[in-house]
A and B are shown apart, each in its own frame.
Chain A
Amino acid sequence: SQQGEEDPQALSIQEGENATMNCSYKTSINNLQWYRQNSGRGLVHLILIRSNEREKHSGRLRVTLDTSKKSSSLLITASRAADTASYFCAADYNFNKFYFGSGTKLNVKP
């Protein structure tokens, strides 16, 4: 069973707009990692945020973590058609064992 949830399940935006995805989890964690998946292939690592961090940036990505609410958000700024993919959060609950949500499907229209 899934121990995490992403919201929304699907998101469709125009190129250049920002995309925000939210993630909730159910247990205490060491860190939370975000991944991108294209067409059902492998997961591409985007960013890691540790439980003692509140915000992290990497290029056009901004991630926040609220451990009191057991939630995280991923913001992609100035989106591009190439950002079209499914995005997953992975909650590391024990030595790199992850709970995944069911993902957010992002469609960026050119």
Chain B
Amino acid sequence: DAGVTQSPTHLIKTRGQHVTLRCSPISGHKSVSWYQQVLGQGPQFIFQYYEKEERGRGNFPDRFSARQFPNYSSELNVNALLLGDSALYLCASSLGGNTEAFFGQGTRLTVV
């Protein structure tokens, strides 16, 4: 079985640009969450979707948005990129509730 897959693996963008990151959950998983991990720190929660509805949003500006599609894959969008948005973006999928959450390999975003 495939694990959580994220694309692209690496991305370099210029300040002010827009970026879309993609995530495919493990088959059968309906919950997808997004995390930002800045170098040297632990991941921070950005969004969670379950059954295509937003179930939670972390303390991130409105430049960050996300959605979940009918096949449970998800996109994270970031507008008006800032240098401080440079980070590893991680996607996690789970069955939901009190269960294991599995992470993808992440997308390394560099904003120059």
Contact = CB atoms under 8 A, between A and B. Distances in A.
Interface of A: 2, 4, 30-31, 33, 35, 40-45, 48, 50, 88, 90, 92, 94-103
Secondary structure class of chain A's binding surface, majority of residues = strand
The majority secondary structure among interface residues of chain B is strand
A94 B39 CA distance: 26
Interface string B26-45: 00000101010101111111
Given A95-B48, A96-B48, A100-B43, A41 B98 contact: no
Contacts, number: 78
Contacts of B56: 94-95, 97
Contacts of B94: 96
B93 to A, nearest CB: 9
* Chain B interface size range: 20 to 34
Given A101-B42, A102-B41, A96 B103 contact: no
Nearest to A43: B103
Given A41-B105, A95-B55, A50 B98 contact: yes
Given A42-B106, A43-B90, A97 B45 contact: yes
A99 B35 CA distance: 10
